[in-house]
Structures are given as C-alpha cells and as structure tokens.
Amino acid sequence: MNRVTLAILLLFGTALALYWQVQQKKANLPPAQIVEEKPDFIATDLKSLSFNDQGQLESRVSATYMEHFNSDALTVFSDPVYTLFPKNGQGEWQLTAKIGKLDKFADKVTLENEVKVEALSFDEPLQQLTTSYLALDIGTMILTSDKEIQISGNNFHLSGLGLYADLNKEEVKLLSEIKGTYEPK
C-alpha cells in the first residue's frame, strides 16, 4: 500500500467518524416542540350584541363555536351570522359563512366559505350576494372581496370578479368581468 492510498483511507475514515459523531448528537437532541397557540377562551352557541357610542344597535353576532386569542386580538367563529345595522338606519343586512374571523386590531371581519349577504328588508333592490370570501371594515361598513361575486335582486342577476360595497351609502360596485340579466315585470 502506498502513501497516497493510505492518506485517502485515513481521510475517508476521519470523515466517516465525524459524520457518525454528528448523527449521534442529533439523535440525542429532544424533538422540536411545535407550539400551537391555545385560545384564551371559547364559547359555544354564542350570541352577542354590539352598540355604538349613542347606544344604538350596531350589530348582532351569533355562531355555533368561537375561539378568542388575546395575544393577537383575533376571534375565530364557526358558522357565524352577523346582522348589521348601518349608520343611517336604512337597510339591515345579514352576513353568513362557514368561517369568520374578527381582527380587533384592524377592526375587520373576514368571512370565508359559502359567504352570503342578505337584505332583511324586501324593499331593498339588492336581495342577496354570494361569494367565497368577503372582508368587512367594521368602522366604515365597507365590504370588499377579490373573489367571484353573484348578486340577485328585484328582477336582476349580476356576476363579476371583485367587490366594493359601502353599506352606509348603499353603493355596490363589481370590479371586473361583469355580466348581468334584467327581467322586466
């Protein structure tokens, strides 16, 4: 055996020994703990009323299940039903979804999966809006979405991509790819 072969074998042996030592140290380390944040409190069959500074009813919320996380001021709802009463007193709206999230820091509610907005008055021209995602700014009562929107009302149907709706001003805008039909009486 010549010196080159012996040097290669010695180098290979040292590398193997170091690799084995590192693997042994890794095996002796405790497994990484996955920290899952637990809610600070939960509720089932939740019903809540919210009033503005003048004492007028602003919203009513119910849900089958709720979890609240104090650390990030987030509340997660299962099957939420929000009833909104805009500032001018005109129109009452009921928003439903499979999942709802209230972010108190941003003063925003997001609704996901089978989202439906319904007018509680038959006099409203817009009776129903459906989508897969909707965000509500509670302070301004503005609804936004970047998903597909379906709207039905008194004698008309609309569809489009994206939404901007101001419930206080009673304005609804579909943002793109708008299609509609009107059915005269």
At 78 the pLDDT is: 93
At 33 the pLDDT is: 52
Per run of 10 residues, the mean pLDDT along the chain (length 185 residues) is 72 75 72 67 88 79 91 90 74 88 90 91 84 91 92 89 88 88 82
Q: Which helix (H) or strand (E) holds 49?
A: strand 41-51
Domain ranges (residues) in the chain: 41-182
State the architecture of 41-182 in CATH terms: Sandwich (2.60)
Q: Which helix (H) or strand (E) holds 131?
A: strand 126-137
At 132 the pLDDT is: 95
Is residue 109 within 8 Å of residue 83, measured between CB atoms? no
**pTM, 2 dp:** 0.73
